[in-house]
Amino acid sequence: MNIETQDIMSKWKLYTLLNDNGMKVSFLNFGGIITDISVPNRNNQLENVVLGYKNYDDYEENTKFFGAIIGRVAGRIQDSSFTILDQTYSMEANEGGHHLHGGNGGFHQVIWQASPFQTDETIGVKLTHRSLDGEGGYPGTIEVAVTYTLTNNNELILDYSGTSDKTTVLTMTNHSYFNLNGNLTDTIHNHHVTIESDEFVELDAELIPTGKKINVANTPFDFRTGRKLVDGIHSTTTQNRVANHGYDHYFILNQTQQQHISVKEETSGRVMTIKTNQPGVVMYTSNTLDEGLNLAEGQSKPYLGVCFETQASPVSLHHDGFPSVFLKANELYEKQTVFSFGVEG
């Protein structure tokens, strides 16, 4: 196992984790952006399974959030405001009238302090950041950490932690776009996905959660026994059409001891499983991904990747009965998501 470090554009560092199987994970200290995850296919050929820019300077803006840490709050905050203890806080409206993914100065846009580590079984880097009271409109000075750990079982473990000196809101995630074909040789239409979820959250025309939970039964949102993403991409149901012909929805995860999510790609044989202690996941099938962005393996287009944004939900700021993003003063925020890679056949 090995950790490599490279200076990028005289201002960032690129860390590359290599395990004994040849699996590779590369990420920047800028935004914690994962730029490459290379894992074998059934013929033991290593290929990259996440979307990333060809040129590092394109991450400076990164309006599509490729590979980045998202915070303080992942998702859309309705009307760019919320209330805590009878005090209303307003933040930047960076998507119409709403606040998306922490705003333009969110965690995806900061340089994190990085501390590499190695044990007998793992290698990784702990990223830390201090966000001051009032930054982005959020209350509380908050200390956050995100640790990327690679094991010899081809597991990438993401550990999130944080504390605030005031009651505030926090739900972090990673915004990697996965494509298990490898090196972007095809779209994600035929990715077969299983999600342990009985309910998803309805969206309005501006992709804001309405506060209504919908049972997945007899809909293209029923992934409990697995289905291909093409089912929702080609669906004419209102919720798939609202999401620009695909998925951009929050699934409330069933609290079981099983792997919460699995993704299989038949041609390559790659399988990715996701286990998390987060209460839900936003699955986004890159329905609105711009065409023509210069990616490492070619030009971007819609449906080239699928995101699994494990998180609580900002819908809880305006509606009762949803996984909360509130964090009390001096309370520890502690979450984990594990991405495991293997092959079938």
Distance CA 77, CA 80 (A): 5
Our answer to whether residue 234 is catalytic in this structure is no
CB 171 within 8 A of CB 314: yes
User: Which among 68, 308, 276 is positioned nearest to 188, based on CA atoms?
Assistant: 308
Distance CA 146, CA 158 (A): 7
- Where are the strands (E) in 140-297, listed by range? 142-151, 155-164, 168-169, 173-174, 177-178, 192-195, 197-203, 209-215, 227-228, 248-253, 261-264, 270-276, 280-284, 294-295
CB 270 within 8 A of CB 182: yes
Our answer to whether residue 129 is catalytic in this structure is no
> Which residues, listed in sequence order, are joined to residue 249 by a DSSP beta bridge?
283
Distance CA 138, CA 326 (A): 12
CB neighbours of residue 241 within 10 Å: 12
| Given 98, 101, 129, 175, the catalytic residue | 175
Distance CA 64, CA 52 (A): 10
| Given 47, 135, 265, 309, the catalytic residue | 309
Question: Residue 68 carries which side chain, given as an amino acid letter?
Answer: A
Question: Residue 258 carries which side chain, given as an amino acid letter?
Answer: Q
Nearest 5°: the CA angle 148, 186, 51 is: 30
Farthest CA pair distance, the chain: 59
Distance CA 47, CA 341 (A): 12
Q: Which residues contact 138 (CB under 8 A, 6 or more apart)?
A: 72, 73, 89, 91, 131, 168, 169
User: Would you name the residues annotated as active-site residues?
Assistant: 175, 309
